[in-house]
Amino acid sequence: MAFLKKLLLSIILLAIGLGAAATWAFLRWADTSILQGAPAVEFTIKSGSNIRSASRQLNAAGIPLHPLLFEALARIQGKASNLKAGSFELSSQETPRELLQKMVDGKFSLTSLGIIEGWNFKQMRSAVNAHPYIRHDSLTMSDSELMKAIGSEYEHPEGLFFPDTYRFAKNSSDIQVYQLAHQSMVSHLDEVWKKRAENLPYKTPYQALTMASIVEKETGQASERGMIASVFVNRLRAGMLLQTDPTVIYGMGDQFKGNIRKRDLTTDTPYNTYTRAGLPPTPIALPGLDSLKAAVNPEPSNAYYFVARGNGTSQFSENLSDHNKAVNKYQR
């Protein structure tokens, strides 16, 4: 009997020892680098994946992580049902415990897209469509369908996306990217409109946006934005035609081949400000913040004309006679 008691005790102690050893080994595994300094690995967890499926997807992505051990870790920590779907990056030194927390927190692998001041919407859309880490859900949508998909109150997209560099999770929908840029423009436009000068010749933020887009395309020297805006505001107040080439070019669309001709200035389109009074029907480009500010707070001046000097700056004139002299000096 004594022998059996000793044997049972030995078995119990052995089991406890093995359990402790297994626990120690498991905890050590959970806090040991997965890649052991090897290059980082990107992977994607599909939407709707449970912990078992996610563990297998990690393995299938080439990550040397035992699916059952990772699943056990998630269940022991009570995080098995909290994983986020999306694209992640496993760094060279991350441990299973750190990886699990990253997936729970939704710390996705990020990418970026730069939208340039002065681009038109067609150029922006081409850049979005060409981005390799964006999910192209809007590819077959028309512009008006896209605006509806992002929840915009506007039908025409031009000018309504703020030029900036946007960072977002890889494999995000392009709809999300458009929403970010649109919401940013609406926010910036609302903010500058609240601080607008009195007696401007336009009544809505959208008209100010249209003016800002013209200022953006006409400005060669950043410091002259306020004066460029002043010229156009003065012309609107005086009932003069704006006569700005960028609107004509925009109205020509694909027919513009790099040079604007005299006949282009006399061919009527909704955007030809040589033939039609007032602002064009929509913006002509994506204006930056400085152009938005200039449109609502132009420099005080009596200038009605300007001409490029050929060095990126402009010569401003208060009357046609002085303007013609400037044209002869700098353009002929």
Q: Could you please report the per-residue DSSP string of 273-319?
A: TTTS-SS-SS-SS---HHHHHHHHSPPP----EEEE-SSS-EEEESS
pLDDT digits (tens, 9 = 90+) for 57-107: 998 999 998 888 899 899 999 998 999 988 888 999 999 999 999 889 988
CA-closest candidate to residue 209, choices 294, 123, 124, 305: 294
Cα separation, 271 vs 242, in Å, equals: 11
The dihedrals phi and psi of 331, each to the nearest 5 degrees, come to -115, -10
CB atoms within 10 A of CB 214: 26
Q: Could you report how far apart the first and last alpha carbons of the chain are, in Å? A: 119
pLDDT digit string, tens, across residues 211-265: 999 999 999 899 999 999 999 999 999 999 999 999 999 999 988 888 888 899 9
How far are the Cα atoms of 54, 79, 80 from residue 50, in angstroms, in the given order?
6, 11, 8
Per-residue pLDDT band at 11 (split at 50, 70, 90):
low
Instruction: With cut-offs at 50, 70 and 90, classify the pLDDT of residue 53.
Output: very high
- The full set of domains in the chain, from first to last, is 33-108 (3.30.1490.480), 110-190 (no CATH), 197-331 (no CATH)
Cα torsion angle, 272, 330, 234, 188, sign:
positive
- pLDDT reading at 194 higher than 70: yes
Cβ atoms of residues 259 and 252 within 8 Å: no
Structure tokens belonging to residue 3: 């022998």
Judging by beta carbons within 10 Å of its beta carbon (0-12, 13-18, 19+), is residue 95 exposed, middle or buried?
middle
pLDDT of 7 > 50? The answer is no
Average pLDDT (17-35) is 74
Residue 146 has pLDDT above 50, yes or no: yes
214 close to 232: Cβ distance less than 8 angstroms: yes
Higher model confidence: residue 239 or residue 332? 239
**Confidence band for 318, pLDDT divided at 50, 70 and 90:** very high
Output the average pLDDT for the chain. Answer: 90
* pLDDT for res 12: 52
Q: Which helix (H) or strand (E) holds 143?
A: helix 143-149
In sequence order, the 6+-apart residues with CB closer than 8 A to the CB of 214 are 232, 242, 244, 246, 247, 279, 280, 284
Q: Which two structure tokens, joined as six digits, stand for 321?
A: 């006679």
